[in-house]
Amino acid sequence: MNSTSHKDKPVVAIVGRPNVGKSRLFNRFLRRARSIVDDMPGVTRDRIYADAVLDGDAGEMDIILVDTGGFDPGSEDPIAQRVLEQTQLAIDEADVIIFLTDGRAGVMPEDEEIARRLRRGNKTVVLAVNKIDGSGQEALAHEFHRLAFSPVIAVSASHGRHVGELEDLVIEALTSRGFVSNDDAPTMRIEPVGARAERLAMDDDFDGDAGPDVDGDAGPDVDGDAGPDVDGDAGSDVDGDAGSDVDGDAGPDADGDAGPDADGDGSFAVDGHLDRVPPIRVAVIGRPNSGKSSLINCLIGEDRHLVSAVAGTTVDSVDSLVQHRGQPYLFIDTAGIRRKRSIALRLERFSVVAALKGLERSDVALLLLDGTEPVAAQDAKVAAFAYEKGKAVVLVVSKWDLARKGKTERESTEVLRSDLKHLSYAPIVFTSAHTGFGTEAIFPAIQKVHRGYSRRVSTGQLNRFVESLTANHSPPTKKGKRGRIYYMTQIDARPPRFLVSVNDPELFHFSYRRFLVNELRRTYGFFGAPVLVGYRDHRRDKDRVEHNSSRAGSKRRMEKGSLEPARSSAKKATAVKRARKKADRRRSTKPSGG
């Protein structure tokens, strides 16, 4: 297992003290809202990486852009110290550094301390003075020359003023270090490993905000119920095993991929070259302080994500690309999802929205549950988010080194199956990021549920399945009328969706529907994935066929030059209904034989 790198592309880091506009400039370069922006200092904490294209007069250049937390060397706050460590790591690996300052505030002592550190690191630095919104404020940038960096440029990240000139300066600095633009040495373009979201068109009034106008709602309207009334329960045949029968092989032939690449592109950067194996996108979700960042750090083998005992340390959704046995995985670390009434700050609302967006662009969700605490109502709500988004799920019990005293895995499994009934099909893995216990089972578990999540079954196989199922377990009857299944087909994957054509959907009680889902899961191995089955009246299919045949007949008559008007499909459907009613009345009024 190894964390991936981008050796062919230069790294450009944006550094500066808190609240100078680093995330806003980061979003401006990306031309989309990636980092959360707020007026409160200290919003960004982790290093956030994204692929970007600088578009200057000398041509385009692909880079890796890094957003960093506020550089505050004098702070004694434990989280601020960890942010400082993360920022220093970004400085160490950067080829060029954009040192961002606040022109309105002037040169601060923190700016001078950052400048001293950057000079000691012998890095190429471009000094950008932010918040210079008009030509009348240009003079505010003059005093920053005393920091002894050249060039110095006045910009406005909020309005995009002189950002193009800043891109030119960065390209010039990278060229002086031996990097070439795309025009001079064409290279294969690699899509960003971060998100599948569309890049937003940016205009002068773009405020860099990391989300739409959010009204405080932390996500879909989940009313405390553990999930919708479609449980897809198939837990009897799933023992919660993390996949002991899976060899962990993550080669391209083992992912069961049954559809196109999740983001529409087949290329991903792995170890600096173009790899055609698409990554499995894994969102790590859960309540605050359940150990999400610690688990990802353990899986990728480096201190990539900020970890603290304080709940709510992670604010942005942070992506990490890692390779394990030939298969790339994109882990999406998300902010802890709190209850709605606990979300008091605007920033927290954005964090929760960003977490739900991270879940939406994933294939598999690792739902972390704190093993030292009982399952809470909020755990069930977070699980409901994953279920409603139609994601494959692996339940990960964290902090098991602290929780295992006094209870066994079997006992905990029984409790989880009881408390999270709507996810009884999800495998369970017991882990400890601190000791590494159980983490080796996570990759096989992800592989197993991803294969089920992506699997497709042909209509012929499904019809044979229905024939065998109904022969052994007849559909229920209601008022003397027995349900009948005409055919079954799979209409989609990721998640698996099926359509069943029946004589009357109301004849199929939820218990028989659940039984059918269980048998589907057991027969075709839809482990860890929600199986969605819809029922449709067969008469609708018949009317559709009649409608299509009527249109085809009308077309043939027109081709032959017939002047006979064709009966419209609506009139034909009405005539069919009248004929049926008339036949029913005749049968009801016919005298019974003596």
Query: Per-residue pLDDT tens for 145-177?
Result: 999 898 899 999 888 889 999 999 999 999 998
- Residue 535: name the closest of 485, 496, 495, 494 by CA: 485
- Omega into 495 within 30° of 0, i.e. cis? yes
Shared-domain flag, residues 402 and 302: yes
Q: Indicate whether 49 belongs to any domain.
A: yes
Shared-domain flag, residues 477 and 439: no
φ, ψ of residue 503 in degrees (nearest 5): -75, -30
- The percent of residues above 70 in pLDDT, for the chain, comes to 66
Find residue 333's DSSP bridge partners. Answer: 284, 318
Shared-domain flag, residues 445 and 466: no
In angstroms, the first-to-last Cα distance of the chain is 84
Amino acid symbol at 39: D
pLDDT tens-digit readout, 468-485 = 999 999 998 888 899 999
pLDDT tens-digit readout, 44-55 = 446 788 888 888
The answer to whether the CB of 493 falls within 8 A of the CB of 456 is: yes
Helix 510-524 and helix 459-472, axial crossing angle in degrees, nearest 10: 120
> Average of pLDDT values for 297-325?
66
Per-residue pLDDT at 273 exceeds 70: no
Tell me how far apart the alpha carbons of residues 387 and 580 are, in angstroms, rounded to a whole number: 42
Q: Which positions ≥6 away from 492 have C-beta within 8 Å? A: none
3-state secondary structure of 95: coil
Q: Which positions ≥6 away from 552 have C-beta within 8 Å? A: none
Shared-domain flag, residues 396 and 362: yes
Q: Indicate whether 189 belongs to any domain.
A: no
Tell me how far apart the alpha carbons of residues 441 and 140 are, in angstroms, rounded to a whole number: 57
pLDDT tens-digit readout, 276-292 = 688 999 999 888 877 88
**Position of tokens 């550190």?**
117
Tell me how far apart the alpha carbons of residues 282 and 250 are, in angstroms, rounded to a whole number: 14
Tell me how far apart the alpha carbons of residues 177 and 226 are, in angstroms, rounded to a whole number: 56
Q: Is 83 exposed, middle or buried (0-12, 13-18, 19+ CB in 10 A)?
A: buried
Shared-domain flag, residues 315 and 294: yes
pLDDT tens-digit readout, 108-125 = 988 998 898 888 877 899
Q: Indicate whether 2 belongs to any domain.
A: no
Per-residue pLDDT at 92 exceeds 60: yes
Per-residue pLDDT at 581 exceeds 90: no
Q: Indicate whether 223 belongs to any domain.
A: no
The domain that holds 33 is classified in CATH as: 3.40.50.300
Shared-domain flag, residues 413 and 340: yes
Cα within 13 Å of Cα(43), Cβ side: 25
Q: Indicate whether 209 belongs to any domain.
A: no
DSSP string of 507-560, one letter each residue:
GS-HHHHHHHHHHHHHHHT-TTS--EEEEEEHHHHHHHHHHHHHHHHHHHHHHH
> Average of pLDDT values for 347-352?
51
Per-residue pLDDT at 571 exceeds 80: no
- Omega into 151 within 30° of 0, i.e. cis? yes
Residue 352 is predicted with a pLDDT of: 64
Tell me how far apart the alpha carbons of residues 238 and 532 are, in angstroms, rounded to a whole number: 18
Amino acid symbol at 4: T
Domains contained in the chain, number: 3
CB atoms within 10 A of CB 253: 9
Residue 257 is predicted with a pLDDT of: 40
pLDDT tens-digit readout, 190-228 = 333 333 333 333 333 334 343 433 333 433 333 334 333
Shared-domain flag, residues 412 and 500: no
Q: Indicate whether 229 belongs to any domain.
A: no
The answer to whether the CB of 72 falls within 8 A of the CB of 17 is: yes
The domain that holds 465 is classified in CATH as: 3.30.300.20
Residues 65, 70, 76: CA angle, nearest 5 degrees = 145
User: Tell me, what DSSP letter sits at residue 149?
Assistant: -
Q: Is the pTM of this model over 0.85?
A: no
Distances (CA, A) of 344 to 216, 310, 313, 358: 9, 17, 16, 21
Q: Indicate whether 183 belongs to any domain.
A: no
Shared-domain flag, residues 144 and 113: yes
Residue 250 is predicted with a pLDDT of: 37
> Which tokens is 392 given?
């494959």
Mean pLDDT of all residues belonging to the chain = 74
Shared-domain flag, residues 385 and 470: no
Tell me how far apart the alpha carbons of residues 34 and 209 are, in angstroms, rounded to a whole number: 9
Shared-domain flag, residues 99 and 240: no
Tell me how far apart the alpha carbons of residues 370 and 335 are, in angstroms, rounded to a whole number: 15
Q: Indicate whether 446 belongs to any domain.
A: yes
Residue 227 is predicted with a pLDDT of: 39
Shared-domain flag, residues 516 and 548: yes
Shared-domain flag, residues 159 and 38: yes
Q: Which domain holds residue 324?
A: 235-454
